[in-house]
Structure formats: structure tokens, C-alpha cells
Chains A and B, each alone.
Chain A
Amino acid sequence: MKKYWKLITLTIIIMAGIGTFYIYDSLAADAYPAFTIETNSGNEEVIENLLINAHYGTGQNIQPVQITKDEAIYANERSFFERLDGAYLSPERKHLQENYRNFMRGKAIYGSFYEDEEYLVYANVNIDTSALEARSSSIEVSMLDKGTDETTSFVYDIPHSSEVNHVALQDVQLVNDNVTLITQNHSRSQGNLAIHVYEFDAQSHELIREESIISDQAQEQNQFTDMFMLNETDPMSSKDYAVFRNVVREEIRNNDGTYSHEEISNELIAYNLESGKIEDITLTEELKEFGRVNLFDGTNLYFTKSIENGLEVVSYNIKDKKIENEMTVELDQVESSQAPSFPMVNEGGRELAHLTVHDKNLYILSRIGNVEEPADLIVIDLETEETIYEGEISEKGQNRDSDEKYELTITGIEVN
């Protein structure tokens, strides 16, 4: 054996170095704080399916983490194969990949999905970038009949025109057995942004209707339009309305030679999917002063305004054109200078809270910058306007140095 001592030493170095590295890896779970949602009062059932997306860490080493009622799972704790398909990233994707594995093959993750009891619909706009001059786009639709487990697909080539330069899919819905697509169409020339509707017969795959429902309001050379659809709390579900924000800004040359933008108009526009008509949303002067919430659950719009000791929340029903709820929520606020993400209350760069709505319950999570300060979670029943749950994100078993500089940044909440 004496002859082999060098080789044996090398083997020991390999085992010791690499072995410890990966054994430590399996124990690494302990290195990150175990955040959970701790209930202070109320029924825990309402947070059973609540998911908080966050980042944990400092500087170079930031770990995405998902916090639920009982556990916090860090991205690097996921198995290699789990990470590959990214199903864990969103419960929606997980649901689709697990239940419709074959249908989901070859479906672009940035495509749109619609799901009801009978059908699962996928739509995507493919842009042929191989032709530089005239970009040809096509709409790809796949429909799964859940009853028969049959998939039908069709492709519609968007007629080539110099008008349309880029088509961005906003949503797909199944309305009266017709596949309805809402797109944002850009044209080559300036000031030509429009929201389009494409409607296909689900059986014959014929294009029934193609219409521009909102067109560009910019009048002058120096005016710019920003037109986008409000995110919904559950983008895959059937809904009555699609809501758009249409903002026109004007570029103003300052005295010092720099440019700034000034808002000329800012309106909310509702599109009734059933009737195919635009409906105006006329807000009271008071509501217009509220912060610009982009929260929309398919029926109601939610406006929030920060007040001294919390939030004022107003929900507006588009169909009935009336205010449904009006209430104040007490909240400890934590200030932050982080860039905003949606949907959440955002006032002048100051993030106040993350919001979501599920089953007529409003979920509010006060944003936090530092793990030392627990974030409050409040659930309000919108029908009774009563707080039915109160809790906080807290760290289970503090097993790290209190003076280590770490930070938990919450990026969003969702209930499924």
C-alpha cells in the first residue's frame, strides 16, 4: 500500500473537499431563516393557499424564497429537476404542467392561458424575426377539451401590413364559444398604439371579428401614449371585463436642455367581453385622487390611499358603475426606496403594501425591508368589511447572528 500513498492522499482530498461541500449543501437549509406566517387571530383557512414571493439575502447573494403558512422554501433548496421546469415559480404553471402535461408541451411560458370547467385555451403570438423588413406575425391557439381530452390547434397569420409592426398578446378568453384575443398592436409610425380584439370561432377556427377597440389619443408630435391592460388577480379565469389604462404624456423641454414628461390624460377604459363594447369608467373626483392601484379581479377595481395609520381601500364595481366597499385598514407601514412591483400600493415610490383579492377576501401585506421587523398580514371579508384574519411573517427559530446584515424583500403575494 505504501506505493499508493500519493493516490490515496489525492482521494482523501477529493472526498474531504467535495464531500463536505455537498453534504453541507443538504444541511444548508438551516443556514437560511425559516419564515412562516404566524396567526395572531382569525381563521387560518383563508391563508391555506397564500403564497408570498420574496428575496432573501444581501449584496451578491440573493435567494428567491416562497413563504407559505407553514414553511419557507428557498430556490436553492429545490431539486435540480424541479428548478429546470420552473413549475414551482408559479402555482399556475405548476397546476398546468401537472394536470395537463402533454397539452403544455411546446407552450411558450409567456403565452396566455384561459381555463374554465370545460376548456383550457392557450394562445401566443409568434413573430417571425427572420425577415427584417416586414415582420410577419401569427396567432397560435390551442384548445383542450377537458371532457374528451382532445386538443385542437390552429394558426392565424396576421395579414401583413405596414401598419402593424409588433403584436403583443394581452389576454385570451373564451366568450360564447368564441376564442377572443386581446392584443396591443404597435405600428411603425409614431403615435399608433392600439388595443385590438381578434375573435375566432372555436369550431371552425374562422376569424369572425377583428377590431381596434382603443386607439391612440396622442395628437401632437411630442405626445406619447402608454396603453396597458390591468393585471388581474387570476389571469386564467373567465371574466366580464378587460380594463385598460390609457395615459398620454407630453414631452417638455426644460430650460436646462433636459426633457421631462407631463401627463395630459389618464383614463381607465373597460371593455365588455360579452357585448364587445367599450364602457367608460367615470370616477368621482375623490377616487381620482387615490393612488393608482392596478389591482383588478375581473369585476371590481381596487383603489387604495395611504392615510396616517394605515390604508384606505375603495372597491369599484365596473358593471354597476358604483362603489362597492369603502373602508380603512390599520397598518404599520415600513418605508422603502425599492423599485415598485405589481400589484401593490405605490405612492410616489413609497411602497406600502401588497394586495390581492381571492374569493371576496382582500389580502393586505405590509411591505417590509428588514427581517427584524415582521410584516403584517390582514385579510378582510369584502362582503362584511370585517377583518377575518390577522397574522405576520415571522422567523421560526432564530438561528443566526442578530447583527448579520440580511434583508427580506417581498415581491408579491398570491392566493390560489
Chain B
Amino acid sequence: MNRYLKLVNFEFNRFVKIYVVLLAITLITQIIGVILKSREYVANANEAIYQEQLSTSEFLSQYGTMSFDTIVRSVWFLGPIALCAGAVAFYIFLIWYRDWFGKNTFIYRLLMLPTARLNVFLAKGTTILLVTLGFIGFQLIILPIETTILKWIVPKDFRVDMGVHEIIGAIPELHLIFPQSFIEFVLSYGAGMMVVFVLFTAILLERSFRWKGILMGVAYGVVALFIMLSPLLVQDFVVDGYFYISEMVLLEVLVGCIVIALSIWFSNYLLKRKIRV
């Protein structure tokens, strides 16, 4: 095992307790949501059919069928996703600052490991990526379980069954997190990692230069943003729509790679020459 993988393992293990709790919250909340929403629908149907004397088809035309996208739109489903997303966003910062804070300054240890300091940076980045993908993978695994619960509660005549793809396809807001094709998945999470690396660089600037570093970090973020926007600006103001959208995507991939490379190179420099414990 090389030291990079050991560091990834170590970083993940530092987060694993909170991680398991978040996964458990997701599973439990979503399942409660499925049960409550399904029961609510069945209760409505029962009341309408037995008390208001509606026929099944009359009820369906008035209230519609039950399908899983109703549940997905509820806070029971989206709440945990938002919580996990928030946790990842927060941990992007905490993964660095926790090494500096407190009496036991672990950053001494990390910087004194007999390995390139860049490995520490890459291991933290990898951990963020794995944690994020883990949430996605877990969600995709528990979705079929949740649709099965819906099937147990709501009778066949009252529901429209949806596959995992259809459920996600039905909610455009989820497309960024669960892109519809693998290539979009790579682009989406590639862009995500780019943002993570830019933030990491900004954090390292702050850690190297403290107060002044905050300004430098913000400035670096602005530079990265400008680089990312440059193809769009060129397209709109210089060449007036010269590039096809597919070419624009390729250009964005290119500048995205430049931003990632720049962030890694700059962070490596900061860790080697400017970092302070």
C-alpha cells in the first residue's frame, strides 16, 4: 500500500462515524417518508371510496395515481439529500481546519510524513470525492428498496411504477447530482472536484498567510471563475457564437483541467514553501 492510499484510508476513517450516521439518517427518514406518504394516499382513497362513495376510477381521475416521484418531491426524501450535501460542503473546510485546531495539532504529523505533502492534499480531495460518490451510490441502492415499500402499501390499480431512471428523470433538480448519462456524470463530478480543489487552494492560502490569505483565497477563486467563464465570454463577445455547443463543452473541459492543474500546482507550492503550522 503506498502512503497516498494509506492517507485516503486514514482520512476516511476519521469521517466514518459521522458518515454512517448520515447514511442511517438518509435511509430512515426516506423510508419513514415512503410509509407516511403511501399511507396518506391509501387513507385518502379509502375515505373517498367508502365514505364519499366514489368508484375507483372516479377517485383516480380526481386525485391521480400514486407514484414514487410524489415521495421524491417531499422533504422526507430531499431533506436528507440536502443534509448530506451540506455535510460534504462543510467537510471540505473542516477536513483541513480540524488538523490545525485544538491542542493536538495533527498538521505537524501530516506535514512531517516521509511522503510528498501533495499526497496529503490529494488524499483529502479523494476522501471528499469518495464520500460524495458514496452518498450517491447509497441513494441509488436504497431507491429500489423504497419503491418496493411503496408497492407493498399502495395497491397496483392506484399506482404507476417507476424505475430508478424514471424517478430521477422526472425531477430535473436531481439531474446535477444524478446525471442521466455516464459522460455527464464524469463532467458533473469533474466540475465538482475542480471546485473542491479551488476551495482547497483558497484554504491553503489562508493557512499560509492567514488574514492576508483570505483575500488571496478570494482572489484565487475569482481568477478560477474567470478562467472558467473565459470560453463563454469569448463565445459571446469576441467570436459571436462561433463555437458549437459541443465544442464549448470541450473547451470548458479543457479550461476546467487547466484550473485543476493550476490548483494542484499552486497548492503543492504552498504546502512545500509557504505553509505554517
Neighbour of B140 across the interface among A4, A21, A58, A85, CB < 8 A? A21
**Among B48-56, B158-166, B215-223, the stretch in contact with A:** B158-166
Is A100's beta carbon under 8 Å from chain B? no
Query: Which residues in window 117-136 of B have CB below 8 A to A?
Result: 130-131, 133-134, 136
Residues of B within 8 A of A4 (CB): 1, 9
Per-residue contact bits, chain A 52-64, to B (CB 8 Å; 1 contact, 0 not): 0000001111000
Across the A-B interface, how many residue pairs have beta carbons closer than 8 Å? 104
B241–A108 touching, CB < 8 Å? yes
Residue contact A25 to B9, C-beta cutoff 8 Å: no
Question: What is the CA–CA distance of A15 and B138 in the complex, to the nearest angstrom?
Answer: 10
Interfacial chain A residues near B182, Cβ < 8 Å: 22, 25
Q: Which of A81-121 contact B (CB under 8 A)?
A: 81, 84-86, 97, 105-108
- A21 & B241 in contact (Cβ 8 Å cutoff): no
Which stretch (A6-14, A296-304, A347-355, A379-387) binds chain B? A6-14
Smallest Cβ-Cβ distance to B171: which chain A residue: A60
Compute how far the CA of A106 lies from the CA of B247 in the bound complex, rounded to whole angstroms: 12
Q: Mark interface residues in A16-46 (1 if CB within 8 Å of B CB, else 0).
A: 1110111011001001000000000000000
Partner of B141, one of A17, A61, A84, A404: A17
Q: Contact: A80 with B184, CB < 8 Å?
A: yes
Report the Cα distance A59→B65, complex, angstroms. 10
B269 contacts chain A at the CB level, 8 A cutoff: no
A61 CB contact (under 8 Å) in B169, B184, B241:
B169
Interface contact A84-B249, CB-CB below 8 Å: yes
What is the chain A residue whose CB lies nearest that of B9? A7
Question: Could you say which residues of chain B place their CB within 8 Å of the CB of A79?
Answer: 181, 183
Q: Which residue of A lies closest to B244 (CB)?
A: A85
A185 to chain B, nearest CB (A): 25
Is A405 close to B, CB under 8 A? yes
Q: Are A14 and B242 in contact (CB under 8 A)?
A: no
Majority secondary structure of chain A interface residues (helix, strand, loop or mixed): helix
- Is B12 interfacial (CB 8 A cutoff)? yes
- CB of A76 within 8 Å of the partner chain: yes
- A28 and B246 alpha carbons, distance in the complex (Å): 24
| Other-chain contact of A80, B133, B161, B183 (Cβ < 8 Å) | B183
Inside 8 A of B178's CB, which chain A residues have their CB?
21
Q: Which residue in B137, B139, B249 is a CB contact (below 8 Å) of A15?
A: B137
Q: Chain B CB within 10 Å — which of A11, A13, A76 has the most?
A: A13
**B interface SS class:** helix
A3 to B12, CA, bound (A): 12
Chain B residues within 8 Å of A24, by CB: 164-165
The verdict on B245 contacting chain A, using a C-beta distance below 8 Å, is: yes
Q: What 1/0 flags go to B9-52 for Cβ under 8 Å of A? A: 10011001000000000000000000000000000000000000
Closest B residue by C-beta to A22: B182
Min Cβ gap A299→B in Å is: 35
A60 — which chain B residues lie within 8 A by C-beta? 67, 69, 169-171
Interchain CA distance A174-B175 in the complex, whole Å: 45
User: Chain A residues with Cβ under 8 A from B96's Cβ?
Assistant: none
Q: Does B57 contact A (CB under 8 A)?
A: no
Q: Tell me the complex Cα distance, A47–B221, Å.
A: 56
Chain B interface, number of residues (Cβ within 8 angstroms) = 45
Task: Pick the most buried of A7, A21, A76, A107: most chain B CB atoms within 10 A of its CB.
Answer: A21
A58 to B161, CA, bound (A): 11
The complex places the Cα of A233 from the Cα of B140 at a distance, in Å, of: 46
Give CA–CA (A18, B135) in the complex, Å. 10
> B245–A84 contact, CB under 8 A?
yes
Find out whether the CB atom of B170 lies under 8 angstroms from the CB atom of A61: yes
In the bound complex, residues from chain A placing their C-beta under 8 Å from that of B183 are 79-80
Q: Does B239 contact A (CB under 8 A)?
A: yes
Interface residue? B243 (CB, 8 A): yes
Residues of chain A with a CB closer than 8 A to B184's CB: 80
Contact A7 B165 (CB under 8 A): no
B240 within 8 A of A: yes
Determine the chain B residues whose CB is within 8 A of the CB of A7 once the complex forms. 8-9, 12-13, 130
Bound CA span A405–B185, Å: 30
Q: B169-180 vs A: 1/0 string, CB under 8 Å?
A: 111000000101
Tell me if A6 and B16 are in contact (CB < 8 A): yes
> In the bound complex, what is the Cα–Cα distance between A86 and B245 (angstroms)?
9
Which residues of chain B are near A6, meaning CB under 8 Å? 9, 12-13, 16
- Once A3-B9, A105-B241 are accepted as A-B contacts, the answer to whether A22 and B137 lie under 8 Å apart by CB is no
Pairwise interchain contact B13-A85, C-beta atoms closer than 8 A? no
Say yes or no: B165 contacts A25, CB within 8 Å: yes
Tell me if A106 and B239 are in contact (CB < 8 A).
yes
CA distance A191 to B122 in the complex (A): 67
Distance between B6 CB and nearest chain A CB, rounded to angstroms: 9
Q: Which of A374-404 contact B (CB under 8 A)?
A: 404
In contact, B239 and A76 (Cβ under 8 angstroms): no
A59 x B160 contact (CB < 8 A): yes
Interface contact A18-B137, CB-CB below 8 Å:
yes
Find chain B residues with CB under 8 A from A105 CB: 241-244
Q: Tell me whether A14 and B241 are in contact (CB under 8 A).
A: no
| Interface pair A25/B246, CB less than 8 Å apart | no
Most buried by A among B12, B137, B138: B137
Q: Which residues of B contact A404 (CB under 8 A)?
A: 160-161
**In the complex the two chains form, is A76's CB within 8 Å of B180's CB?**
yes
A-B CB contact pairs (8 Å), 16 listed:
A6-B9, A6-B16, A10-B131, A16-B137, A17-B137, A18-B140, A21-B140, A22-B181, A22-B185, A59-B160, A84-B244, A84-B249, A105-B243, A105-B244, A108-B241, A404-B161
**Using a CB–CB distance below 8 Å, which chain A residues touch chain B?**
3-4, 6-7, 10-11, 13-18, 20-22, 24-25, 28, 31, 58-61, 76, 79-81, 84-86, 97, 105-108, 404-405
Given contacts A17-B141, A21-B178, A404-B160, 13 further A-B pairs with CB under 8 A are: A6-B9, A7-B8, A7-B13, A10-B134, A16-B137, A21-B165, A22-B185, A60-B69, A61-B162, A79-B181, A80-B184, A86-B245, A106-B241
